[in-house]
Chains A and B, each alone.
Chain A
Amino acid sequence: MGTQTGIGASVKRKEDKRFIIGKGRYLDDISRPGQTYGYFIRSPHAHAKITSLDSTAALKAPGVVAVLTGPDMQADGIGPLICGWGITSKDGTPHKAPAHPALAIGRVRYVGHQVALVVAETLQQARDAAELVEIEYEELDHVIEVGDALAAGAPQIHDDVPGNLSFDWELGDRAKTDGAISAAHHVTRMKLRNNRLIPNAMEPRAALGDYDSGTDEITLYTTSQNPHVHRLVLSAFNAVAPEHKLRVIAPDVGGGFGSKIFIYSEETVCAWATKKLNRPIKWTAERSESFLSDAHGRDHETFAEMAFDANGKILGLKVSTKANVGCYLSTFASAVPTYLYGTLLSGQYTIPAIYCEVQAGFTNTAPVDAYRGAGRPEATYVVERMIEIGAREMGIDPAEIRKRNFIAPDAYPYETPVIMTYDSGNYALAMDKALEAIDYSGFAARKAQSQTKGKLRGIGFSAFIEACGIAPSAAVGSLGAGVGLWESAQVRFNPTGSVTVFTGSHSHGQGHETTFAQIISDQLGVPIDQVEISHGDTGKVPFGMGTYGSRSLAVGGSAIMKAIDKIVEKSKKIAAHTLEASVEDIEHSGGVFKVAGTDKQMTMAEIAFSAYVPHNYPADVEPGMDETAFYDPLNFTFPAGTHIAEVEIDPDTGTTEILDWVAVDDFGNVINPMIVEGQVHGGIAQGIGQALLENCVYDKESGQLLTGSYMDYCMPRADDLPTFRVQTINTPCKTNPLGVKGCGEAGAISAPAALMNAITNALGKEIDMPATPEKVWRAAQGL
């Protein structure tokens, strides 16, 4: 079909017009008649007992409708928030996930913990009244770092979780790995810290609950990456309303990065309270609330050992990680440092023995959950830092050592020792292209030139792999997932030939309205401006598992392909009838249905019209042209590639300047190269943010969040970043109909290791993220 708008074309994003002219409709743009405003009172303490809560004065304040608390919710039978992935510890016991009431009951466990909701006619009145709610706390000892939380004698955060240990999980073969390490020529040993991050989507989280007493239906507008998952959990576990009486709408959502997957307190409370009060209630997070209470990301303390033979061939990898999960297990918190982490520790390499153990510890901090990459950046950081350091210690070129360990292009399917089966890849090709693009052979000369200016130059590699397209339902079910991870799509032709696609994927910046339309345009020959992609409303879309884990195209796009197959199949019957041929003789290509060997044909538009005006129509075919398909993936997909960063350090101030960045990624087939490049740019920027700038810090003494605003939490900005030079190679994925792998997280997964390898290469010394000027200065000065 038309290469202008089909698969492989850099079609400009259809959705951007409304965003650019200010017509995007984000949550706070929506208001309902008679709407009230909610303001959450949050804990000022890291850990305390609530000894009393008195709302008498607040209830008398102007405009106040209600002050609602945890016990009120409990009395109404609203269940606690859940963790949807069960992890089993080494000893066979299930993970410990203490009850997480949406509003605190008796005890608060982090600064920002939701204590009460004040509802008033205006936001101003709600805020004023919140100051009149008298709450007395009795402070308890708190603990912030996971290492401290898991140490003997740490303050107990939950009475029913001894030692603050949620689970102690393992993967791989311990004995075999220990054997490999003890027999090795060389073992690299390192402590690695994966710093804690705060997501910072541009649009803060928000919720608007709207109860209709006539139909007894609750509509919850919320900033969700997966509205159907919200609906499922809120009805099945929280008992806010039965599923058919709850409609969840996630309109335009301004970024998620994982942080809007989860079912949080605030939307649960708004959905419940709107019915209780019979008034619409809107809550929009202030930026400081986002810092305090969005689920944070990463936060690992790791000790790793990588064993090599004399040629630099990796013999084994042993990884021991303490993961900070915050004060409660958030929706998917348990999966992130386990099955999204340990399973990727083979990287792009043939490693005969791998063992990984992870202890997840509760702390008095915000819950930690998936954040762009979710587990895979942490895994890549371990593998790519360890191999780089190993190369340094053994005096082997870092590109060369990787090549000696790459899985060969003819070795697929390749089964790793950590339960993944890679379907396809070509790691050496990506590496070679990246080496050429960065002019690796010219690096020594460039380094010498920097030296003449008193600067330290460094180059760093990251040959990352990730598992995307999450995931085959049976596989994840066997690993503890509480849900299936398929996707649905409905392709509806209108009688006039235009198409509406209802997808369970949710776009919050990814550009689905364009990419998905390109698939329809390509496969069915519909002009792209005749294709509408509808998403984000449980009242419209059949069902959906949502967008995360770079799954939208690989799983949601494949569901569209399956629906297209049904459309084609039905269309063939209609064409055969109309053209007086047998169905077997109808050939389809790009929306044109032809009788083989003749010039008799019908277009998709003609067939659609006939399906709705079935005057001359096959007797055994239903009218209408509207097909729904569900697609359950056969495997994960495995995007991979090589990123190379080149930096220059000013040893007097410790400032790092990123001079060059080359990314060669294998995303399988590419639908829209421009959107892919944009995703890679954004991901790299976030990865650079983690390595250089971002760091969530709680004060150990007070438990207060020190990086609670942009004054102290440093997001990457355009002038922190170089021009990225992005290429793709295209080894089609063998397990989905589009041959696509997913690109949304690659940059964030790959970049931290590449940058830290470059910085430490320049310094000749190992340091942890983030490489702040002071840290770099100290290393450069030998302090």
Chain B
Amino acid sequence: MYHFEYQRPATLDEAVALLKEDCKLLAGGQTLLPTMKQRLAQPEMLVDLGAIETLRGVCPDDDKLAIGAMTTHAEVASKADIPALACLAAGIGDPQVRNRGTIGGSVANNDPAADYPAAVLGLNAQITTNKRVIAADDFFVDLFETALEENEIIINVTFPRPQAAAYVKFDNPASRYAIVGVFVAKTGGGVRVAVTGAGPCVFRHKDLETALTSNFSAQSVDTVTVSATGLNNDLHASAEYRANLIKVLTKRAVAQIGG
């Protein structure tokens, strides 16, 4: 690690006031700290969001569920009353990671193989920051790239309640991140299918959504051709295999929901 300054503000306003160039927000540190230890990142200052109480907690409402950015994966796993979301959080990393890592950090990081982006996009969530509210469809831009501006702070993520939803993940055997993860949600506005792990960035599979909206069944998934074009091709899985997994996992998610 290179030398850096460390601040731990108690309120969001204090945090915003501290922000400057070459500074990084620190949440659970599960991505940021390893990167710094490997000397791949060199922030001059870390602003630790850990003491800001208002950023933490699960807030259920009739038609939605708001989760503070600093809520850990473990808390979401035990407290979120959207079962697919709780189950997704329970499948992230290991207990240490789940008790440190946060939803805000994961979403802001937008790792192509991370789990949360699939839920955020699949459930059509909204990301509230200190500056604005961003729709999931506009948030995930590209590999490790989001709509967040420099030093924009995620305050919470709000999930509309689906009629039903399921997340099925095929683990990378080594890292246990998603080789492919598919989040299927039945919502008032039709079925949404969000795919993580398979491409450079989480994406919605429109053909699967159309097929499932008109006929919510595994057979309906079979009618869709999932193209391998543009999918990731790496040491662990070819694009072709990932395309197969998208279909298989979508069918399994549909079956879990009861299609």
Contacts and interface: CB of A to CB of B under 8 A. Distances in A.
B174 A772 contact: no
A710 B241 contact: no
A777 B241 contact: yes
B248 A712 contact: no
B237 interface: yes
Interface string A705-723: 0110011111100001000
A468 B241 CA distance: 43
Interface in B174-204: 174-175, 177
A712 B236 contact: yes
A716 B219 CA distance: 36
Contacts of B38: 288
Contacts of A652: 244, 248
B235 interface: yes
Contact of A707 (B2, B170, B235, B244): B235
Nearest to A783: B240
Interface in A729-783: 772-774, 777-778
A247 to B, nearest CB: 34
Contacts of A654: 241
Given A710-B175, A712-B174, A774 B235 contact: no
B227 interface: no
Contact of A714 (B173, B238, B244, B245): B173
Contacts of B241: 654, 773-774, 777-778
Interface in B214-254: 235-238, 241, 244-245, 248
A653 interface: yes
Nearest to B177: A711
Contacts of A778: 241
B173 A773 contact: yes
A774 B174 contact: no
Contacts of B237: 773-774
Contact of B175 (A127, A693, A711): A711
Chain B interface size range: 10 to 19
A772 B173 contact: yes
Interface in B1-31: 1-2
A713 B174 contact: yes
Contacts of A64: none
A714 B170 contact: no
A772 B236 CA distance: 8
Contact of B173 (A693, A697, A706): A693
A712 B175 contact: yes
Contacts of B238: 774
B94 to A, nearest CB: 9
B42 to A, nearest CB: 11
Contacts of B248: 652-653
A714 B38 CA distance: 20
Interface string B144-173: 000000000000000000000000001001
Interface in A685-707: 693, 697, 706-707
Nearest to B240: A783
A712 B173 CA distance: 8
A714 B235 contact: no
Nearest to A654: B241
A712 B235 contact: yes
Interface string A631-675: 000000000000000000000111000000000000000000000
Contacts of A693: 173-174
A711 B173 contact: no
B174 A710 contact: yes
Contacts of A697: 235
B233 to A, nearest CB: 11
Nearest to B251: A652
A130 B86 CA distance: 45
Nearest to A781: B244
Given A697-B235, A774-B237, A711 B245 contact: no
Contacts of A712: 174-175, 235-236
B74 to A, nearest CB: 18
A653 B175 contact: no
A711 B244 contact: no
B76 to A, nearest CB: 22
Contacts of A706: 235
A127 B39 CA distance: 10
Contacts of A124: 1
A773 B173 CA distance: 9
Contacts of A288: 38
Contacts of A773: 170, 173, 237, 241
Nearest to A716: B173
A5 B55 CA distance: 58
A777 to B, nearest CB: 6
Nearest to A711: B175
Nearest to A713: B174
A653 B245 contact: yes
Nearest to B248: A652
Contacts of B174: 693, 707, 710-715
A559 B39 CA distance: 50
A711 B179 CA distance: 12
21 contacts: A128-B2, A652-B248, A653-B245, A693-B173, A693-B174, A697-B235, A707-B174, A707-B235, A710-B174, A711-B175, A712-B236, A713-B174, A714-B173, A714-B174, A773-B170, A773-B241, A774-B236, A774-B237, A774-B238, A774-B241, A778-B241
Interface of A: 124, 127-128, 288, 652-654, 693, 697, 706-707, 710-715, 720, 772-774, 777-778
Given A706-B235, A712-B175, 6 more contacts: A693-B173, A693-B174, A710-B174, A712-B236, A714-B173, A773-B241
Q: Sorted from nearest, which 10 A-B pairs have the closest CB atoms? A: A714-B174, A711-B175, A774-B241, A714-B173, A652-B248, A712-B174, A774-B237, A706-B235, A693-B173, A653-B248
